[in-house]
Amino acid sequence: MKLFQRLLVAPAALGLLAPLAANAAEVNMNDLSQFSGKTALRAPSNVQFSDVVPGDWAYTALQNLSESYGCVDNAYTQSLKNGQALTRYEAAALINACLDSGLSADAQGLTPEATRLTNEFGSEMAILKGRVDGLEYKLNELSAGQFSSTTKLKGHVSFNTLALSGVDDNTDAEIDDALHMTYRAKYDLYTSFTGQDQLYTRIVTGNGSNSWSEDTSHGLHLSDSSSNGNAVKVDKIWYQFPVGDFTVWAGPLVENYYMLASSPSIYKPMLKQFALGGNAATYGSSTSGGFGVAWTQPVEDRSQPRFAVSTNYVSKGSADSTKGFATQEAIGKWLSKVEYGSPRWQVSLAVAKHFCNTNDSTNRRSGTSGTYECYEWASYYGTDAGHKTTGNSTAYALRAYWKPEETGMVPEIQLGYDWVNVDEAHGVALATGDTEAAAAWMTGFTWKDALIDGNRLALAFGQPQRATEIVGGGTADAAEDAFTWELYYDYKVTDGITVTPAIFGATDRLNGASNDADDFFGGILQTTFKF
């Protein structure tokens, strides 16, 4: 069956997913936070009138009540002290709070003035009390089923129906992969012990190991894919906490780009090669042990621009007692980022230092006598020559993004440009034919609320990291004209279910092979469940 026929058949498979949807009781978390403390009750936001003003008997009675019954200091007692008017619901909330902290409204001993207040505002008091009781009941139901009062769980499950057409660059044989389906299930656990710190644990499973959805060489690796072979494992775990205006991270399973003051990109990719504004050498990471710190300039108005600086280090030998951190035996990455911007826009510059090890057992210096190993940090977004580094390297990344004030015809824009310089490692010079410099770029557009509110249309394209300088001169990267792209549409079925049809393609993607051996076109139908 040809590719387009498969893509036409693929939506029918979505119908099989319908029985999996389940209704769940919802708890309005805004209400929970708004009414969790009876001494901090707020009036409904749609109440705009002020009925109790200074000079009214009720205003004076509320002031007396506040003083007589030892009401807990809150926004309403402050309003009374400052002579500000109150709505009837605000007055009722204050009476409820005062009586709950002192005498019950049904008990004996209320002053005539307090009794008059309860009679005057009885309806509003009953409405607020009923709302609190209902929310407390819901909270008790929720608490009965939770496993920890300090931990929150978020789930993300993806079903991927996949098809690909192209030519194998090694055999020149036509690729006409069968229509197939994979899944990934991801469970994020957020634990806080102080209300400001966070222990993050990510548990993942999936079955993409026999699918091209795990192919990094051609940039086909999906953002929502896992090669765990249905095994459940912890693949991320770290702890972060604030120290003044700084945030500190440390953990045995973390990647560099998680330890930043903010993300360098607002583009949500379908293919992992377009993550982080271009997943080339600068931001390309590997999960290992590491630590980092970030400083964010404090500003009174969060919508205003501010500076932020981040720096972190990850070692691929962190769990090995013979390698550890910052040794010659460990492959390491030190990433630093300086940014300036607001929630609507940002510009940033990042620098990454990559260190090779002195591991005699693995030699990635093809055809040379070097005895060290260098990690290929740009494997998601690089050509065959561009992502292979045979020495210590320094990579740079410029990023910029912008969001319009309103969603609609004008899209969000993401720009990225990377370049990397490769040096000798451990006294071994680069050999003739080795890549000495490489570069990459990416552009992404996102139209939020496209066609229907809550949906999203996105387009990304660019050139993966390709060699720009070869030691000894010679032929430049055979894939110097490499180009790749993706286009998708998020259709939000419900708050928890999204269906995403996508297409993608590339030319001269890996090594610029002739006879269209590096060209391909594919389609994805992804169904995502969030809970």
Q: What percent of the chain has pLDDT over 90?
A: 41
Q: Per-residue b/e over 223-242, b at no fewer than 16 CB within 10 Å?
A: bbbbbbeeeeeeebbbbbbe
Which of residues 123, 145, 167 is at a domain's end?
145
Say yes or no: 129 and 256 in one domain: no
- Average pLDDT for the chain: 80
Q: Are residues 111 and 253 in the same domain?
A: no
Out of 100, 118, 145, pick the residue that ends a domain: 145
- Does residue 352 lie in a domain region? yes
Same domain, 133 and 279: no
| Domain limits for position 388 | 244-455+464-476
Q: What residues does 481 pair with on adjacent strands?
A: none
Question: Is residue 517 a part of any domain in this protein?
Answer: no
SS3 string, 372-440, reads CCCCCCCCCCECCCCCCCCCCEEEEEEEEEECCCCCCCCCEEEEEEEEEEECCECCECCCCCCEEEEEE
Q: Is residue 73 part of a domain?
A: yes
Whether 116 maps to a domain, the answer reads: yes
Predicted TM-score of the model (pTM): 0.70
- Domain membership of residue 526 (yes or no) is no
As a whole number of angstroms, the distance between CA 284 and CA 314 comes to: 12
Same domain for 266 and 406, yes or no, is yes
Residues 262 and 407 in one domain: yes
For residues 339 and 472, membership in a common domain is answered with yes
User: If you write DSSP's letter for every residue of 305-352 in order, what string do you get?
Assistant: -EEEEEEEEEETTTT-TTT-SSSTTS-EEEEEEEEEEETTEEEEEEEE
Last residue of a domain, one of 96, 123, 145: 145
- Count structural domains, the chain: 2
Summarised one tens digit per residue, pLDDT across range 327-380 is: 888 889 999 999 999 999 999 999 999 888 875 444 343 334 445 678 888 788
pLDDT tens digits, 184-224 = 999 999 999 988 999 999 999 999 888 888 887 778 889 99
Question: Which of the two residues, 69 and 524, has the higher pLDDT score?
Answer: 524
Position 54 in a domain: yes
Find the mean pLDDT for residues 2-21.
Answer: 41
Higher pLDDT: 512 or 24? It is: 512
Binning pLDDT at 50, 70 and 90, where does residue 392 land? confident
**Cβ atoms within 10 Å of 106's Cβ, excluding its own:** 8
Q: Is residue 514 part of a domain?
A: no
Positive or negative torsion for Cα 205, 209, 212, 214:
positive
- Asked whether residue 496 is domain-assigned, the answer is no
